[in-house]
Amino acid sequence: MAKILVAEDDKLISGSLCEALKNAGYESHAALDGEEAVAKAKEVAPDLMLLDIMMPKLDGISVLWELKANPATAKIPVIVLTNIGDVDTISKIVEAGAVDYLLKSDQSVDDILRKVKEVLERTVRLV
Amino acid sequence: MIINILLVIDFVMLAVVISGYIFASMRERKLLSQEADQSLELQQKVYQAQVLKEISERIGYSLDTNKIVDIITSSLGNLLEYDTVAYMVIEDGGKALFKCHVENSVTHDFIEQVKEKMIMSYAAILDKRIEAQSTDESITGNILDDNLKVQVESFFNLPVVISGKLVGIINVASSEKGRFGEEQASILYTITNQAATAVSKLQSVLESEKGKLSAIIYSLADGVIMVDTDNQLLVSNPVVREILEINQQAAGQQAIEKPLTMFDIVDGLAGKVDIRTKIEQAMAEDKVITIPEVLLKDKAVELAVSPVKDNSGAIIGASVLFHDITSEKSLEKLRQEFTAMMVHELRAPLTALRWTSEAMLKSLNDPAQRLEPLKVKENAENIHTASANMLELVNDLLDVAKIEAGKFELNIQENDLADLINEQSKIFKPQAEQKHLALNVTANGKFMLKFDKVRIAQVLNNLISNAIKYTDSGQVDVSLKTDDPSKTAVVSIKDTGLGVAREDLNQLFSKFKQLRSVDRARKGTGLGLVVSKGIIETHGGKIWAESEGENLGSTFYFSLPL
């Protein structure tokens, strides 16, 4: 069972996502701020991570860089889920090494599940 | 550019040259018949007046030394009889300019003799040896004929002095002996003197105009420089130094007032803009070139490079305007941050609404995904919370917009403020208890006042909920007092929480600044304080915050007029 880490400070959003992931047959873990996200990434070693940008303690971009800096977490594919769609943020996300980014309010939960599946398959093939 | 020109004719040299002729010519004149003499004199005077008129018309508004001397020398033909008239300038660098107009053909040797006499005169006046390193010669008029047997037999030199400095010598020479006398010298003197007077008048007008212009340039808020076509810096103002941080001395040190050069400007912009190329381009293409955003060490500057033209439309240089856009940029950045934050805050509850309702719809359509009744309740609660958050935010945004537009309306009535404080505090009791905080209220008796009950309740809610939100242990004290000197009722909400850094206190109530320090763990956009400020100020009251510093708690106050 693939492990998915959901780093999202909004409890409602995090709850919906985790629930949907569970229903789709994944093992879901939630982190409610950036620091927790980095810690859980090491602890859980997820197969994929869904990451929010605007989070307390450590923002999503910094989380990406911290993951990259640690060999244990550097290979975790990260899909950024954000509600800030400005070019500046997007370029920072890409630069920090996220595999994809999705604008939360533009997506349904099913869209996200589809993307998760797609990225997981791509990663497996690469391995 | 604008040369200080003052023509002063030094007669010392002239006196030496012509003294010998004076007595002779006077004696001669006596022998002539009185009648003939008078008519000749009259004729001369008419000529002289004509020439003077012509000269002043032709000089016009020119302050170009060479041009003025050209005009003077070319006008002499009517008044004097000579073979050559020449003008010589020796610049500081030793470069000599020699202009000679040949009226009657002479030899090359004759010209050389004239030149020699002029250099000697130059040397005598300056009292030093003159060695012209290079000569820029121009000989106009009649052809030179080396077969002629002519020598310089008579001549005179007239020094041209500008601002007490010798700038050139006019020479009139003839191959005839005794050609020039007092009369001729005096004609030339009159002409040059007349020209000098015209030039001085023009100069004083220009000086005062130039003074006004420099005062304007000096006091401009923008940096300005001007260069000539050789990229030499002609004009600059102090703002340029400030912007490019040139020779900016440390506090307490003596200012080093080294004159600014084009190298300083190029250095100051090195790696950012190739200003020399831009200047050349502006001059070559005859158009204004703007460089919208040059990022210097801690400044953002906008540059405008424009060609500068003279009256005839010829390009004589270029100017560069340095406009500091640092504050505009930082305001722009704040606006962008604000928009990003708002977009995020508005989308977050929408996302939650969308996803939660999706899950519920799915459970209705697909029996395999049926939700437990408890889960349905939780989802419904989530939808309720998300829509309530969204509504609060939208209301705050609308309130801010109304406040900013000056369209904020109040429903003012006589109300009991103490009662309202007690009522609102009661709402927050459960929240405070949940965080194990004591919520103490000191507002006794009746306290009748005119205010908008709904809006003041909104302010109290905002301040009390903030106090609880930012306090993890200790207490929140809400109290009401009267301040007699200012005739106001003062409400204070004191907490033992996070506190506020002193430098941030003033910015708490600003729409943009507040957002920078938003603590995302505690939610909220900080718009509540902006709205509260608007509400209190519309009531004619004041709102402010005090804090001993971070982690030392804070107190928020608002006052309402009694």
Whether residue B179 is predicted with pLDDT greater than 50 in this model: the reply is yes
Cα nearest neighbour of A13 on chain B: B352
Phi, psi of B323 (to 5 degrees): -110, 120
Q: How confident is the model at residue B15 (pLDDT cuts 50, 70, 90)?
A: very low
Cα–Cα distance, B226 to B304 (Å, whole number) = 12
3-state SS string for B169-194: EEEEEECCCCCCCHHHHHHHHHHHHH
Residue B29 has pLDDT above 50, yes or no: no
pLDDT at residue B64, rounded to an integer: 62
**Residue limits of CATH 3.30.565.10 in chain B:** 413-561
CA distance B280 to B85: 40
Mutate to test the interface with B, among A17, A105, A108 (most CBs of B within 10 A): A105
Question: Inter-chain contact B354–A13, Cβ cutoff 8 Å?
Answer: no
Shortest Cα distance, chain B CAs vs residue A19, angstroms: 9
Query: Tens digit of pLDDT for each residue in B405-414?
Result: 888 889 999 9
Q: Would the CB atoms of A83 and B347 count as touching at under 8 Å?
A: yes
- pLDDT, mean of residues B28-46: 61
> Which segment of B172-181, B270-279, B325-334 scores lowest on mean pLDDT?
B325-334
Name the least confident of A79-83, B65-69, B299-303: B65-69
Distances (CA, A) of B66 to A88, B70, B168: 61, 6, 9
Minimum CA–CA partner of A35 in chain B: B521
Q: In chain A, which residues touch B (CB < 8 A)?
A: 9-10, 12-13, 15-17, 19-20, 23, 33, 54-57, 83-86, 89, 104-105, 108-110
What is the interface size between A and B, counted as CB pairs within 8 Å? 61
pTM across the whole model? 0.52
pLDDT number for residue B6: 32
Note the pLDDT of residue B198. Answer: 65
Write down the mean pLDDT value for chain A. Answer: 89
What size, in residues, is chain A? 127
**Least CB-CB distance to B351: which of A57, A84, A105?**
A105
Q: Is B61 exposed, middle or buried (0-12, 13-18, 19+ CB in 10 A)?
A: exposed
Q: What does the pLDDT read at residue B388?
A: 87
Please give the CATH number for the structural domain made up of B8-206.
Answer: 3.30.450
**Average pLDDT score over chain B:** 80
- The answer to whether A19 contacts B359, with C-beta atoms less than 8 Å apart, is yes
Shortest distance, CA B271 to any CA of chain A (angstroms): 24
pLDDT at B18 over 50: no
CATH 1.10.287.130 residue ranges for chain B: 329-405
| Mean pLDDT, residues A24-50 taken together | 94
The confidence score (pLDDT) of residue B8 equals 33
Q: What is the pLDDT of residues B190-237, one digit of tens each?
A: 777 666 666 666 777 777 887 888 888 888 889 999 999 888 888 888
Q: Is the pLDDT of residue A39 over 90?
A: yes
Mean pLDDT lowest among B40-44, B395-399, B423-427, B470-474:
B40-44
Query: Taking 70 as the threshold, does the pLDDT of residue B531 lie above it?
Result: yes
Mean pLDDT of B127-149: 81
Chain A residue with the nearest C-alpha to that of B336: A86
Range of lowest pLDDT (A44-53, A107-116, B52-61, B538-547): B52-61
The pLDDT assigned to B561 comes to 92
Name the CATH topology of B221-324: Beta-Lactamase (3.30.450)
d(CA B178, CA B366): 129
Domain that holds residue A85: 3-24+33-126
Whether A17 and B354 lie within 8 Å, measured CB to CB: no
Residue in B340, B350, B369 nearest the CB of A105 = B350
pLDDT for the residue numbered B390: 87
Could you tell me which residue, B505 or A57, shows the higher pLDDT? A57
* Residue B450 scores a pLDDT above 70: yes
**Closest among B118, B81, B82, B80 to B99, alpha carbons compared:** B118
* CB pair distance less than 8 Å for A55 and B351: no
Q: Is the confidence at residue B519, as pLDDT, over 60?
A: no
Residue B26 has pLDDT above 90, yes or no: no
- Whichever domain contains A86, its CATH number is 3.40.50.2300
Q: Tell which of B351, B356, B376, B469 to mutate to test the A interface (max A CBs under 10 Å).
A: B351
**Count of domains for chain A:** 1
**Residues of chain B neighbouring A15 (CB-CB closer than 8 A):** 382
Confidence band, pLDDT 50/70/90 cuts, at residue B288: very high
Residue of B nearest to A83 (CA): B344
More confident residue, B249 or B130: B130
Order across the sheet with A48-52: list the strands. A27-31, A3-7, A48-52, A78-82, A100-103
According to DSSP, the β-strands at B475-483 and B438-442 are parallel
Q: How far is the C-alpha of B304 from the C-alpha of B293, rounded, in Å?
A: 11
- Whether the complex's predicted ipTM surpasses the cut of 0.85: no
Match domain B329-405 to its CATH number in 1.10.287.130, 3.90.1150.10, 3.50.50.60, 3.40.50.300.
1.10.287.130
Whether residue B21 is predicted with pLDDT greater than 70 in this model: the reply is no
Cβ <8 Å between B520 and A12: no
Mean pLDDT in residue range B37-46? 69
What per-residue confidence (pLDDT) applies to A28? 95
Mean pLDDT of B13-17: 36
Top pLDDT among B255 and B136 is at B136
Judged by average pLDDT, the poorest of B43-57, B292-306, B309-323, B409-423 is B43-57
Answer whether residue B518 shows pLDDT above 70: no
Give the chain A residue whose CA is nearest to the CA of B382: A12
How much is the pLDDT for B287?
92
pLDDT band of B517, cuts 50, 70, 90: very low
Strand order in the sheet with B488-495: B438-442, B475-483, B488-495, B554-561, B542-547
Share of chain B above pLDDT 90, in %: 24
Q: Identify which of B343, B356, B520 has the shortest CB distance to residue A83.
A: B343
pLDDT at B280: 92
Q: Is the dihedral of CA B178, B183, B186, B191 positive or negative?
A: negative
Using 50, 70 and 90 to split pLDDT, how confident is the model at A1? confident
| Contacts of residue A39, Cβ cutoff 8 Å, sequence gap at least 6 | A31
pLDDT at A42: 94
The pLDDT value recorded for residue B119 is: 85
**Residue A43 contacts residue A67 (beta carbons within 8 Å):** no
Residue B52 pLDDT exceeds 90: no
The Cα-based distances of B176 to B150, B265, B434 in angstroms read 9, 59, 122
pLDDT, residue A85, reads 73
Give the separation between CA B68 and CA B311, rounded to whole angstroms.
18
Task: Determine whether domain B413-561 maps to CATH 3.30.43.10.
Answer: no
Confidence of residue B504 (pLDDT cuts 50, 70, 90): confident
pLDDT at B60 over 70: no
Of the pLDDT bands very low, low, confident and very high (cuts 50, 70, 90), residue B65 is low
Read off the pLDDT of residues B359-373 as tens digits, 9 standing for 90 and up. 888 888 887 777 788
Rg (CA), chain A: 13
Chain B residue at shortest CA distance from A107 = B351
Asked if the Cβ–Cβ distance from B352 to A13 is below 8 Å, we say yes
**Residues of A with Cβ-Cβ distance to B359 under 8 angstroms:** 16, 19-20, 109
Whether B11 shows a pLDDT value over 70: the answer reads no
pLDDT for res A44 = 92
Number of neighbours of residue B81 by Cβ within 10 angstroms? 14
b/e code B22-55 from CB counts within 10 Å (16+ = b): eeebeeeeeeeeeeeeeeeeeeeeeebeebbeeb
Query: Which of B344, B358, B519 is the closest to A83 by Cβ?
Result: B344
Residue B392 has φ and ψ, to the nearest 5°, of -60, -45
**Most B CBs within 10 Å: which of A6, A11, A12, A104, as the mutation test of the B interface?**
A12
Of A23, A84, A108, the CB nearest to B344: A84
Contacts of A55 in chain B (CB under 8 A): 520
Is the predicted pLDDT of residue B147 greater than 80, yes or no? yes
Residue B293 has pLDDT above 80, yes or no: yes
Chain B residues with CB under 8 Å of A16 CB are 352, 355-356, 359, 382
Q: How far is CA B517 from CA A45, B461, B510, B512, in A?
A: 32, 21, 12, 10
